[in-house]
Structure 1
């Protein structure tokens, strides 16, 4: 299904791909992978150097166009040890990682983490994500360690988790910050606490809640052992505890961690992310007095309303605690007086229907659980949200469409305004 896309892209360049393997059917210029199993093939190792390029990863592109990230032979596999320690993987484990192969997290969790520890990886191909089939597979194959993005977990927790006999030992989540509501439901249904972690296509797991350590619900955890994480301002100054700033890594070319080597094409972006002796991740957070890191939002996603800065994740987490809401995305909506108002796009849980009465109930709920300047002033009920291949919300698309709709004074179905809008 994807071979034609590769051929189309290859045709635009002079250089040709040396080897193309196809898993289903026949196609000119491709080798069917089944041909490789017909005879014993002795592979000859290439003469590579530690700093040679190993992987090209595309970033998720949550706020703009994806960038091509280059990792090397030496640092990236070693950087995978932080993922191993975060998952709590050990020899003999059967690990299941729900992720698309195009996502860097696929290599974190489906290759280097189990390879480093001598664990086994479960590969489960499904054309469509069916929650009960996923849970049945985890039960029937005795999966012991499990990783999934919050997008998948939000659907899995709607099932009767207690009806399964899991052999799970460790569970983690990555891709977007983990909402406390998911942790509670999963723990009640399986007896296992899902532990959040943080990293990027440009790195491996940089911040994590490790096994047997105290967990603060809503926090991404503490810096992983290969990464010197600081919260800094735009000038490179480390900010005080509980003060919002940029998530940065103290950067030294001689230090071994999973930080990428370069962007392949967008070289101009390098000076933006490597400065003041730091690598700037582009994410905002704060670190508390105990060293736990709390995610605020992607730099471009932070909402500026009435001179206040609002992190979308905190508002989304509060919304998800409402019984009627399965998923939510929060963005800035242009407003004549506030500059921006906080708007929530909401996907309802099964059994609930969009209505003005439900919108008012959601407004009341957020008033009880959030500071006044953080409460959504607009709610729009939707069927789906724009996402990247790794399940991260593309808030930029919602934000851009919102600007167009407000400029054109578009009447939007299932959109409701707070009385104090």
Structure 2
């Protein structure tokens, strides 16, 4: 009876939900402008760096700095629709830049600080960025390719370093400008940001994301954060909230899942400029009283191994919600969050192109360990086959999102298309791009209740001895062993079986890789999964190849095994 009531409530939530997308909508106004008028002294950005620097900025300060930057950009010739590159870490100036570019009518092109010259050159050339805002540490790579980027007319330098002769210092540029600016009136359908995919399955493509996509993100953000900043018993009554995530603001996970939605609700977000470290993560959350967070499964695994009993060690922890995405969380991490952090992790699924479409909300529908959740209100999601038809429950297929919700209204979460790549945009859909299923390229199984169970990228799933193998389940099983910090499973070419299951394993501190441990790990998997799923070969490795967004790059390991097979 309880399960039926929960299912009925979930269906009622979907049936009652209607998108409200105005003709005109701006990130700048929604995330800063209105708060700067209504609550100018409210904290917006709390900042800490690994060097010990700390600061706090209000919404009023954020708006005034954005106004100065908008004036400076306009003076430098940036026009509506121009692309502006941001090579910046988590810091106040990054938030300022997004607000300034949005109210000017420009298109932000966030780029990771980790990009080398080749990666930067490709994106700067492809986007045609006319100006770049770069933090000091990014300057060597940027300077080395600037001559090959003819559209790039100006560089603004952020940080405590001297700009080059043809570069402009951030502070001097802003100090010369007025703190007032009349924002452009932006249509909801206009482009806001050009984000390049992480390239896990090929060359990066630029996803052009409109202003309205932030609205499309909100139902998933609120649900995954257990009614972020509001009392679930009375959604009209605000509650205290402080958000933090190590997710890079140059990516969808940091920008659309953390920075912008937090500012949309007028709450503060902690910006930490430094490399992720599991102990530092706990220290930050305890010291600042972080209530809501987004942590990748790789981060949660590292934290689980580093601090098995966090609440005994960090008295200041007051977490209310943890959202996770990027890879399957797995029941080992799920149980750790429940038992040791006192929070049911809300797994979420989305992409740069269509973000925040599937997930959990522990307060309103029960999470199932290992499941990526159900469609968030406002999104119509299915598992489809090669012909674009929905698969029966229990059958593996491609996770897809329809351009229209259950009421037939357009879903605002969708991207506008791939930058200068109409062919790739059309290939993303099973039919008419305005009224059809959009394929994600991620494989899953859907159960009778609509919960999805991740199986991996379409090119990660493989066959071994005739059996279809999804790597996530095996990886999750391996991580449950105390000797395993992380694991990746790929096919190893085999002349008889077609492929063997092979695992690359990163050891937890204090453990040594040897034949005895290999046998122990194989028995560990055999005793928990199907006999054909245990890894026939295990290789110990110091680190796994990851994208800059924290996603596992299995294709790198697959290619390694293919090359090894050719050499034998």
**1:57 and 2:209 correspond:** no
Partner of 2:372: 220
Partner of 1:174: 325
Q: Deviation string for 1:289-315 (max 9, x for gaps)?
A: 111111001001111212221111011
**1:367 and 2:526 correspond:** yes
**1:135 and 2:282 correspond:** yes
Partner of 1:234: 386
Any gaps of 5 or more consecutive residues in structure 1? Answer: 410-421
1:264 to 413, 416, 419: 419
Deviation (angstroms), 1:100: 1.4
**Scaled by the length of structure 2, what TM-score is found?**
0.69
Partner of 2:348: 197
- Figure out how many residues of one structure are paired with residues of the other and give that number: 408
Alpha-carbon distance between aligned partners in 2 of 1:352 and 1:396, rounded to the nearest angstrom: 27
Alpha-carbon distance between aligned partners in 1 of 2:429 and 2:145, rounded to the nearest angstrom: 30
**1:113 and 2:261 correspond:** yes
For residue 186 of structure 1, give the secondary structure of its aligned residue in structure 2.
helix
Alpha-carbon distance between aligned partners in 2 of 1:54 and 1:219, rounded to the nearest angstrom: 32
Deviation (angstroms), 1:57: 0.8
**1:76 and 2:214 correspond:** yes
**Scaled by the length of structure 1, what TM-score is found?**
0.92
2:459 to 288, 300, 308: 300
Assess if the C-alpha contact under 8 Å between 2:329 and 2:347 holds in 1: yes
**1:43 and 2:173 correspond:** no
1:248 to 393, 400, 403: 400
For the structure 1 residues 42 and 196, does the alpha-carbon distance in structure 2 shift closer, same or farther, using more than 3 Å as the test? Answer: same
For residue 101 of structure 1, give the secondary structure of its aligned residue in structure 2.
coil
Assess if the C-alpha contact under 8 Å between 1:197 and 1:209 holds in 2: yes
Q: Deviation string for 1:374-395 (max 9, x for gaps)?
A: 2211100111111100111111
Assess if the C-alpha contact under 8 Å between 1:63 and 1:395 holds in 2: no
Partner of 1:274: 429
Alpha-carbon distance between aligned partners in 1 of 2:347 and 2:258, rounded to the nearest angstrom: 17
Partner of 1:125: 273
Partner of 2:336: 185
Assess if the C-alpha contact under 8 Å between 2:428 and 2:440 holds in 1: yes
For residue 79 of structure 1, give the secondary structure of its aligned residue in structure 2.
helix
Partner of 1:100: 248
Deviation (angstroms), 1:18: 5.7
Alpha-carbon distance between aligned partners in 1 of 2:412 and 2:191, rounded to the nearest angstrom: 15
For residue 11 of structure 1, give the secondary structure of its aligned residue in structure 2.
helix
For residue 123 of structure 1, give the secondary structure of its aligned residue in structure 2.
strand
Assess if the C-alpha contact under 8 Å between 2:323 and 2:346 holds in 1: yes
For residue 330 of structure 1, give the secondary structure of its aligned residue in structure 2.
strand
Any gaps of 5 or more consecutive residues in structure 2? Answer: 1-136, 230-237
Deviation (angstroms), 1:150: 1.1
For residue 547 of structure 2, give the secondary structure of its aligned residue in structure 1.
coil
Assess if the C-alpha contact under 8 Å between 1:232 and 1:246 holds in 2: yes
For the structure 1 residues 77 and 2, does the alpha-carbon distance in structure 2 shift closer, same or farther, using more than 3 Å as the test? Answer: farther
Deviation (angstroms), 1:268: 2.0
Alpha-carbon distance between aligned partners in 1 of 2:411 and 2:260, rounded to the nearest angstrom: 16
